[in-house]
Amino acid sequence: MNFLEEKILSDGSIKSGNILKIDNFLNHQIDVDIMRQIAYELKRRFKGVAINKILTIEASGIAIATMIGDLYDVPVVFAKKSETANSTDDKYVSHAYSFTHKRMNSVFVSRPYLHATDRVLIVDDFLADGQAVHALIDLVHQAGGEVAGIGIAVEKGQQKGGRTLREEGYHLESIAIIEEMDWQAQTIRFREQPQHDLTNTPIKAID
Ligand code: 5GP
């Protein structure tokens, strides 16, 4: 098991409706050390991939994206959500159905922050049906940019997002992939992934 799978088992809980709650290290309180490990692991998995921008969506993707932006030394852009944004001259607008809030959101980025020259790493906390990530891909394409990769902390492999994105040919990396979770028994089974020796990863600055 990797560090994130262990953290999910020790600190997470499963809610009805197929929701994993990890508020105490990602979705409400942020465990900076875990964010840093997620960032290092995603950077390792995208080794050799040229990236000049990180794109995420507010709010929980921002912490991970900021850590990765620091490692790559590139700008981090977060798409904003609104119930009302329409297509206008000053922003790229797409739409995503929110799995957690059960409503349609407009998702937008102001034009100065996405360009045709951008090779973008899309980052988010969760991947479920792929609505949020597809909206981000759409925004990159509207700007004429290229999606260099998609990095996710927790993929819910029982939902269709991961499968669809891989079939579409995107380089998708998810640190923890949930195969099944049982709300009543509070059990989770993760998809087997190649394990890597992280012992030499400089996870923390030593003072
Ligand atoms: P998707 O757009 O892929 O269907 O859903 C991904 C988005 O929904 C993520 O940005 C995340 O905010 C939210 N989400 C989906 N499933 C879960 C979950 O099990 N737990 C939490 N905390 N958020 C989720």
Kindly state the average pLDDT of the residues 191-206.
64
Task: Measure the CA–CA gap between 29 and 97, rounded to whole angstroms.
Answer: 25
- Tell me the pairing of strands 53-57 and 19-21: unpaired
- Is residue 149 within 6 Å of ligand 1 at its C-beta? no
For the chain, the 3-state helix, strand and coil shares in percent, each to the nearest 5, are 30, 35, 35
Q: Which of 30, 74, 32 is nearest to 204 (CA)?
A: 32
Residue 19 Cα: closest atom of ligand 1: 19
Residue 50 has pLDDT above 80, yes or no: yes
Instruction: Please choose from 124, 126, 136, 159 the residue to mutate so as to test ligand 1's pocket, defined by most ligand atoms within 8 A of CB.
Output: 126
- Is residue 12 within 6 Å of ligand 1 at its C-beta? no
* Rg of the chain taking only CA atoms, in angstroms: 17
Percent of the chain with pLDDT over 70: 93
Please give the model's pTM, rounded to 2 decimal places.
Answer: 0.94
- Is residue 100 within 6 Å of ligand 1 at its C-beta? yes
Please give the domain boundaries of the chain with CATH numbers for all domains: 3-197 (3.40.50.2020)
CA nearest ligand 1 atom 19, residue: 19
| Interaxial angle between packed helices 32-45 and 61-72, expressed in degrees from 0 to 180 and rounded to the nearest 10 | 60
Kindly state the average pLDDT of the residues 32-44.
97
Quick one: pLDDT at residue 89? 78
Three-point CA angle 111, 115, 120, nearest 5°: 115
- Is residue 30 within 6 Å of ligand 1 at its C-beta? no
Residue 135 Cα: closest atom of ligand 1: 2
Cα(127) to centroid of ligand 1, in Å? Answer: 6
Kindly state the average pLDDT of the residues 80-84.
84
Kindly state the average pLDDT of the residues 25-54.
98
Quick one: pLDDT at residue 25? 98
DSSP conformation class of 191: P
104 class by beta-carbon count within 10 Å (0-12 exposed, 13-18 middle, 19+ buried):
exposed
Residue 197 has pLDDT above 50, yes or no: yes
- Is residue 190 within 6 Å of ligand 1 at its C-beta? no
Instruction: Please choose from 99, 123, 155 the residue to mutate so as to test ligand 1's pocket, defined by most ligand atoms within 8 A of CB.
Output: 99
Quick one: pLDDT at residue 206? 46
Residue 14 has pLDDT above 80, yes or no: yes
**Better-predicted residue by pLDDT, 98 or 204:** 98
Task: Measure the CA–CA gap between 168 and 182, rounded to whole angstroms.
Answer: 29
Quick one: pLDDT at residue 116? 98
